[in-house]
Amino acid sequence: MEIYLDNSATTRLSEGALELMTKIFMEDYGNTSSLHKKGFDAEKHIRSAKDNFAKILKCSKNEIFFTSGGTESNNTAIIGTALHYGSRGHHMITTAVEHAAVSAPMKFLKSRGWDIDYLSVDETGRIDLSELEGLLRDDTVLVSIMHVNNEIGTVEPIEEAGKLIHEKCPNCLFHVDDIQGFGKISLNPKKLHIDLLSASSHKLHGPKGVGLLFIDERAHIAPIILGGGHQNGMRSGTENVPGVAGFSYAASEVYKDIDKNYERIEALRADFISKISDITDITVNGSAEHHSPYILSLTVKDVRAEVFLHALEDKEIYVSAGSACSSNHPSVSSTLKAINVPAYALDSTVRLSFSNNTSQEELDTVSDVLHSIIPMLRKFTRK
């Protein structure tokens, strides 16, 4: 039985989304910029998707912009803010545990003279709001904080951070990378003082190559892709109609039972942790209280993550060594370093990530496999 537990990297495409996309590829394939019926038929899918996401995020459809994925959404939010508000200030704040889609554009701006401050995190991966308050300045134009950590699943205090940012710096924008939270944990950007929010399609059973960026109507950022002026000039380029429609379809499916799904996965995760708790020297990373149940980070002492990953692969069980979605080349995890894990953990940690398709039977099988292979793998290490 194949068991796929790398859903934070990507998910299996929804069959309903595939069916809809196939229809659009073969029938409604027009260019949305065309003035004839084929263009109009394609544009209907974009308008429908905007209405759907506006309903999900409880915002105006004019505040929804489609991108090529989460990385472009994050880059647009950060670079676009810098381009628009650079004359007002050159200071941004982010955290030490962001995905590369946020940390890389921050480094890019720093190399061009911007002042970037990085919030530290505690041993569970949570930021300190008092540290955030102390870093906010009159020239701070953006604070970017992820919702759910992609490696250890820790959930950041987004609501409290948003309120603090807007109280102390009313003109500062608040960006949330919600790539690992969207479709799993309900979040209302208007209510939580969020100006910019990034989401990705393929993390919730939609197709790859599609994402969205919510931009509050009060926020103004400059586009970073120029051309034909698509999407009101914010993101030029012919719209990926099948991708956007598939993303919308998949989002509708997961949001229909989002709270019920969350509770089921939380129960599965807790049961799984209980069943492997008798294995010696195995540690769960992240927050016991503030976590997404969809991500489980495990450090298995004296077992290299890559060896562990391939041993599971031999059993048709697929997990990740940390965050695998940014590169094919393993590197030392900045998140694990930030939460000050023991040195051995940097090379002995794997990530199991669940989806709404994950079953009790699958996790019971994985538990049995862990009990059998971990002692065997340690025999090759402990000599």
Q: What are the counts of helices (DSSP H) followed by strands (DSSP E) for the chain?
A: 11, 12
C-alpha 9/C-alpha 255 separation (Å) is 20
C-alpha 214/C-alpha 196 separation (Å) is 5
* Residue 68 C-alpha from the chain's centroid: 14
Annotated catalytic residue 169: no
In this structure, the strands spanning 140-146 and 91-95 are parallel
Is 314 strand, coil or helix?
coil
Instruction: Answer for the pair 256, 95: CB distance below 8 angstroms, yes or no.
Output: no
C-alpha 152/C-alpha 150 separation (Å) is 6
Task: Report the candidate in 360, 357, 363 with the shortest Cα–Cα distance to residue 13.
Answer: 357
The identity of residue 337, as a single letter, is K
Tokens for 281, please give them: 């020297």
Q: What length is written for the chain?
A: 383
| Options 59, 169, 172, 325, the catalytic residue | 325
Task: Report the candidate in 258, 300, 254 with the shortest Cα–Cα distance to residue 277.
Answer: 300
Q: Which residues are within 8 A (CB) of 342 and not within 5 positions of it... i.e. 6 or more apart?
A: none
Listing DSSP states for 235-261 in one string gives S-S---HHHHHHHHHHHHHHHHTHHHH
Q: Which residues are 67's β-sheet partners?
A: 211
Which residues are known catalytic residues?
325
